Structures are given as structure tokens and as C-alpha cells.
Structure 1
Amino acid sequence: MMKPAKRVESIDLSGIRKMFDMVGENSINLALGEPDFDTPPHIRQAVKDALDDGFTHYTGNMGIIELREAISQKLNTENHIKTSPESIIVTVGATGALYSSTNALIDEGDEVIIPDPGFVAYDACVKLSGGKSVRAHLKDENDFRMLPEEILEQVTPRTKAIIMNSPGNPTGGVLEKEDIKGLADIADDHDLILISDEIYEKIIYGKKHYSPAHYSENVITINGFSKTYAMTGFRVGYLAAPPELTEDILKIHQYSVTCTTSLCQKAALAALQGPQDSVKEMVGEFERRRDLVVGRLRGMGIKCNQPQGAFYVLPEIDNPEHLVEEALKKDVVLVPGTSFGKYGEGHFRISYAASYDDLELAMDVLESLNL
């Protein structure tokens, strides 16, 4: 029997998606990182208008110029990143940006430092590119921050890149300004590329988001529209890369997806240029849900850091796999922490992107388990 490539055999399907596939008709799904809000009307209208205008053909591989100009302006004014439309590629989600970046940069045997617990695609993309993941332990006692002094100890002559994520999935952790500057300094001092996943940038509570590309040119900034604008199904993301890397990253993007869907690019443009009220309202509601979940979990005696961003909480408990199994029997879908790396052991993840009412019911179920 024909066997798949070894690099494919070395990775597993997403544990998040495995749990998602177990969702029944009456289940409360706290496994998937998807806002339960509708995409704002003006964004949906942009798709209808583009369809009526016949905007249904290929675009340039990098994306339409209007969208790349809007992204460049956003990065310059909001994130204080000096970039231009020529350094921006519109991708199929932020995951597409991650895949293209890692495959363009990493050679066989190169090491890439990744956060652990961290988003499942980081390790997978590194392995698919032929690289080796070096896991940076994000600790509860440090609010799951990626600390520069600890990262520096993991840098070797084979290190090619560092992947960072703030606000973070699955932890909700947010890096401080000094963390960001420290990681940027490491990238500069050791001639590394810092791949900064900023997809949860706008979903932050009482903190400020900092982009490492403000402090270093050795940064690929990755972002998108799925979380901020409840556009998960549109699959639109982007990356801003150093000019000398853009063409090589474009090669991977071009030969894997050609271009991002034309209609969805128009939707992304409307998201950036239209009213931002929905973002503020959504973040306010996420904060309310966070407070409910953290309060209820702590009331049950479960150790739980308070997330400062994103819409996840990663509580610590003995035998979380048993909790996940028992909750599933009662139609509450959670994700074991080991889905996010070896240092996720002893944890489980809750996505509080579900409705407030569903979260209340789910907390009642967890409390009834008496674990």
C-alpha cells in the first residue's frame, strides 16, 4: 500500500476539529473559536454588490490593490508599522498566511520556536515545511506570556524563526510591551524572522496591543478578518512581510491557492473602510462572557487565569480528559489542553464565543459533574 509523505504522517488532524465533529444537534459547542455574531450588514452587502457587478473572476495573486492599500494604511496608522501595498499579500485566512510564510522560509532541519500551549497550526505548518518545532512553555504563573529571557535560552544556530501570538489562543494571554520589544530584539540580534500572529488584535480587555514590526524589520505580521468582524467563513487574511521576502512567500501562496476569493476581498475592504461600532459591541459582550465563565469556574474551585484577550480560557484541573468526556456526555463540547501541545497537559479550553445563555447552561453542567 502506498504511504503518505513522512512529513504528513508526523502531524495529526486538529483536536479542535475532532471535538467539533462530535457536536450534536442539541450540544453547546465551546470547542470552536468562532464568534456567534452575524457578519455586519454592510460587509454582507459588499458581497452582494460585487456579485451584481460581476466581480467573480481571478484577482491578482497578491490581492486587489484597493484592499492592500487599505491594509497598509491600517498597519501604518494603527500598528505603527512602516509598510506598503507591495509588501502585503491577501491570503486565505490567517492560517493561509502562516502556511505560506513557513513554507517559504524554513528549510529541512531548521528550528522554529513556537508557543506551547499554542494554536494547533503552528506545529503542523512547521513540520509540513520540513522544520522542527521547539516548544516555548507558556506558564500559568506568567499569565501565559512568551518571555524573551526564556526564549533566548532556546535559540540555537539552527533557529530560523519564532512564532508568537498575542492575544493568544488557547490561553487568552496578552504580551506586555517589554515582551514584544524583547522578542523583536532577539530577532534582530540573531538574524531571525519573527512571525507575529495578531488575529485577535482587536479582542483585548483593558490592555494595549503592540506589534513587533514597529520595533524590528525582521517581522512577518499576520492578521485577518475572521475574529474581529465575525467573518470566519469568508476566509480572508493577510500578511505584511519584509520586501525581500514577499516574492518568495508569494510563490507558495500562488501555487497553493492562486488568489483569495474575489467577492470576499470586497467584503474585507468594506470591513476596514466601514463603521467599526460592531467591533466595540462584540468585544464588550465577550468581556461580559469572560467574567461569567471565569467567575463560575473559580466558584467551582477550578484554578483559572483571567484572560486579557481573545475569547478563550484555559483552566487547570486534575484529569481534564475525564472532564471533557463527562461534559460531552451531557452535550457540552470542550477541548483537552493537550490538543494545543504537551504543555497543555492538565488543562482544558473553553471558547466563550458562544452565547451568554449557552455559557450559563454549560457552567451549570460542569458544576453538576462534581469533579
Structure 2
Amino acid sequence: MHPWIADRTKTFDSSGIRRVFDLAAKLKDPINLSIGQPDFDVPEAIKEASIEAIRSGRNAYSPTQGIAPLRDAILAEVREKYPDQERDVFISSGTSGGLVLSMLSMVNPGDEVIFLDPYFVMYPALVRLAGGVPVMVDSYPDFRLDPDKIAAAITPQTKMILVNSPANPTGVTADQADLKAVAEIAAQHNVALLSDEIYSRFFYEGEFYSPAADNPDTIVIDGFSKSHAMTGWRVGYVHGPPEVIATMLKIQQFSFVCAPQPAQWGALRATEVSMQANVDEYRRKRDFLVGELSPHYELTSPGGAFYLFPKAPGTAGGAAFVEHAISQGLLIIPGNIFSRADSHFRISFAASDETLRRGADMLIRLAQESAR
């Protein structure tokens, strides 16, 4: 390694998803079930709001905390949900920016951060970037958030519990009772509770529930990337205890500075645009794929997001199965990118009906081949 490179960069590798895309680059007309973003476009009203912002000269830095109308709109929603809590909000450079700032604001070297395995690919890397120690709690085979396992993982070095519901890569939604129990565990041990709620609007059964309802010190990260297909616009938001938010803002001043101002005006318009029709469409896509694949694969039906996380057939493991699938023209992601285990793979059903049909047919064929 080059002598100038900092030691902290040696604690994690580049995302393994890159290797999948390197393999995929050789394919013609692949069946792409790998993309972790919506397949619908940003609504026109949101585009127009950002275009108007650009044309009217709103192209400079915004305040670090975000433009006032967007903050006010989000804060009004937050206060309606949590009327008895003192919470502040700021606009982050995407939810990934919010995660980075959360780790840098709260995690000291040697602090432990607890989260479920499988996990969003950034979690271990960001914990290590802050000098922390990832503590991964096994959630196989059903990917449930088990409060007893969380409680058992707590040590004197525990600083944070990180929950993600609906989850990437599994799509599983945590039960309200389990989230409530974890919220109480965090409060009991005086441990930070960070709730990654970027898929909160992709919730297919019942009502979305946040642990912030039971723990007023919960730090919540959300945004517009997934719900409104604004992944490239980099507009997220974080709300939580004012002192924690102020610390995150201090770091944002000297790092991201602010989210892109024209995109923030688009996000303001997004707060008024219902995406329920798209959510209903994704529920239908989920039902189709689960119905097609469940006779052939061991899988848990996702309650949210737009992912399935089936177990690979046969004994070769998830990575080998994915390499074979890619050789047949099907793009999926190996589960060991999101886990210490190499047994599963991730499918995204954020794709056209035709692509899902072709993908399901291919996966059924691959399962049948493995059974021979």
C-alpha cells in the first residue's frame, strides 16, 4: 500500500457490489435484478421545482442545516408524530451523509455499535471509519429483530444500537413489539439508538412504526432517495435530540457543507407528492416474485423495501450461485456482501414486469438445475 494512505482505510474493503458489476459489464441485455433504487422516474412536479430553483438563481450554498421551508415542513411532520418530544432536524447530503455524520458525532475509537447481520453494506465500514467496533447480531434464518439477542450483545463498550426497518438487504420489517423492546433496552443502558428509516414509505402491511415513539433520544435518518426515486439528488434528513443534531451539523459544516440547494427545493415539493400508487405497484411486484419463487427457494416474504433475500439452492453457497447466475445473464447480488455468511443472495424487484418475469423464470430454472 502507498505510504501516504491512512491506516483507517485498511479496516474495510471496497463494496463487493463493484465486482458484480465488473462481471455484468461483459453481458449483453442482462436480466437486471441487482439495482437498489426505484425503477420509476422522479415525478415531474419535483423536477419542475428544482428546475425553477436553478432558473431563479437558487444555486449557491444553502444554510448548513438546509433551506428553511424544507426544514419547517419536515419538522412539522416530526412534531405531529412526536408531539411531546424535543427534536430538531437538519438536511443531510443523502441518508449516507446522515449515517457518516452520526458515526463521527457519537462513536469514539473502541466504542461498539450493534446491528443485525445481514446488514446494509455501509454499516461495518462506517463504524470502522469512526474507529468503532461493529458488533453483528445473527438474525438468520428469519431476519427478525430479536430484543433478547440485542440485549445479550451489550457490553460496557456499547455506544450505539443501529436498527434498519424495512431492511436492506432482506426487506424484512421489524415487529412493533420488538422495536419497542429495543428502544427500551437502549434507554435502560443509556446507549444511542440510531434508526435508519430510508425505506419507511415502502411498507406493505399495517402502519410504519419507529422506535422514536418509545425512545425520545432516538436519532432517525430518512430521506427522499428511495421514496421519490431521487437517489442521485442527495437529499436526506436527520432528526433527534437537539444537542446531537447540533454536533452533526458542526461536522457537516466542515465536510459536506450542505445538500445541493436546487435538489432541496425539489425535495420541498416532494413533501406534497403522494407516492402511494408506486408503493402499491411494488407490493404487487413483491407478491408476484414471492409467489413464483417460494416453491423453489427458502425465503422470507419482505414486509417493506424492494428486496428479497433467498437462500441459494444446493451446497455451493451464495457467491458461487450468483457467479453461475451472472454467467447465464441474470444479475443478482451475493449475500456475503451484506453478511458474514455466504448462504443467500439479494434480488431487487425494483424492475419492470417483463424483467421480473424473465428473472423469475431464470431463477426457477437455476433452482431446478441445482436439485438434479
Task: Note whether the superposition's TM-score is higher than 0.5.
Answer: yes
Deviations 1:192-237 (A, max 9, x none): 1100000000101113211111211221100000111111111110
Distance in 1 (CA, whole Å) between partners of 2:91 and 2:22 is: 29
The letter for the 2-side match of 1:298 is S
Pick one of 322, 337, 350 that aligns with 2:347: 350
SS in 2 for 1:13: coil
Report the Cα distance in structure 1 between the residues aligned to 2:359 and 2:228, rounded to whole angstroms. 25
Q: Deviations over 1:171-194 (max 9, x none)?
A: 111111111111111111111110
Q: Give the alignment partner of residue 301 of structure 2, picking from 306, 314, 332.
A: 306
Q: Comparing 209-218 with 182-191, which one deviates more in the overlay?
A: 209-218
Q: Residues 79 and 211 from structure 1, CA distance in 2 versus in 1: closer, same or farther, beyond 3 angstroms?
A: farther
Q: Which amino acid aligns with 1:348?
A: F
User: How does the TM-score come out when normalised to structure 1?
Assistant: 0.94
1:80: how far off?
6.0
1:65 maps to amino acid:
A
Matched residue type, 2:340: K
Shift of residue 78, structure 1, vs aligned partner: 4.5
Check the 8 A contact 1:336/1:347 in 2, yes or no: yes
Residue 257 (structure 1) aligns with: 256
What 5-or-longer segments of structure 2 have no aligned partner? none
DSSP 3-state at the match of 2:134: strand
CA distance in structure 2 between the partners assigned to 1:122 and 1:280 by the alignment: 29
Counterpart selection for 1:364 from 327, 343, 361: 361
Q: TM-score of the superposition, structure 2-length normalised?
A: 0.93
CA distance in 2, matches of 1:203, 1:77: 20
Q: How far does the alpha carbon of each residue in 1:140-189 deviate from its partner, in whole angstroms, 9 at most, with x for none?
A: 23xx1211111000000000001000011111111111111111111111
Please state if 1:27 is matched with 2:25: no
* Counterpart-to-counterpart distance in 2, 1:23 and 1:89: 38
Q: CA deviation at 1:251?
A: 2.1
Q: How far does residue 89 in structure 1 lie from its aligned partner after superposition?
A: 1.6
Q: Distance in 2 between matches of 1:159 and 1:225?
A: 31
Work out whether residues 79 and 210 of structure 1, in 8 Å CA contact, stay in contact via their aligned partners in 2. Answer: no
The equivalent of 1:292 in structure 2 is 288
Q: 1:157 to 1:93 in 2, by over 3 A?
A: same
Residues of 2 paired with 1:82 and 1:310: CA distance? 28
Give the alignment's Cα RMSD to 1 decimal. Answer: 1.6
One-letter code of the match for 1:241? Answer: G
Counterpart for residue 89 of structure 1? 90
Distance in 2 between the 1:232 and 1:80 partners? 30
Cα deviation for residue 368 of structure 1 reads 2.7
Please give the per-residue CA displacement for 1:45-68, whole angstroms capped at 9, x wherever unaligned.
Answer: 101110111100011111111111
Equivalent residues in 2 for 1:1-371, closer than 5 Å: 1-24=2-25, 26-78=29-81, 82-84=85-87, 87-141=88-142, 144-272=143-271, 274-276=272-274, 279-299=275-295, 301-317=296-312, 318=315, 319-343=317-341, 345-369=342-366, 370-371=369-370
- Aligned residue for 1:256, secondary structure, equals coil
What is the CA–CA distance in structure 2 between the aligned matches of 1:201 and 1:104, rounded to whole Å? 24
Question: Contact (CA 8 Å) 2:318, 2:336: kept in 1 or not?
Answer: no
Q: Distance between the aligned counterparts of 2:185 and 2:150, measured in 1?
A: 9
Which 4+ runs in 1 deviate beyond 6 A? Answer: none
Tell me the amino acid that sits aligned with residue 175 of structure 1: A
Structure 1: which 5+ runs fail to align?
A: none
Q: SS of the counterpart of 2:347?
A: strand
Deviation per residue, 1:323-354 (Å, 9 max, x gap): 211111122111111100214x2100001111
How far did residue 23 of structure 1 move? 3.6
* Equivalent pair of 1:94/1:238 in contact (CA under 8 Å): yes
CA distance in 2, matches of 1:203, 1:81: 26
Distance between the aligned counterparts of 1:26 and 1:282, measured in 2? 25
AA at the equivalent of 1:49 = E
**Cα distance change, pair 368–209 in 1 and its aligned pair in 2 (3 A):** same
SS in 2 for 1:263: helix
Per the alignment, do residues 8 and 18 of structure 1 end up closer, same or farther by CA in structure 2, a change over 3 Å counting? same
CA distance in 2, matches of 1:228, 1:20: 24
Contact 2:15–2:337 (Cα < 8 Å) also in 1: yes
Q: Is the 8 A contact 1:83 1:240 kept in 2?
A: no
How many equivalent residue pairs? 362
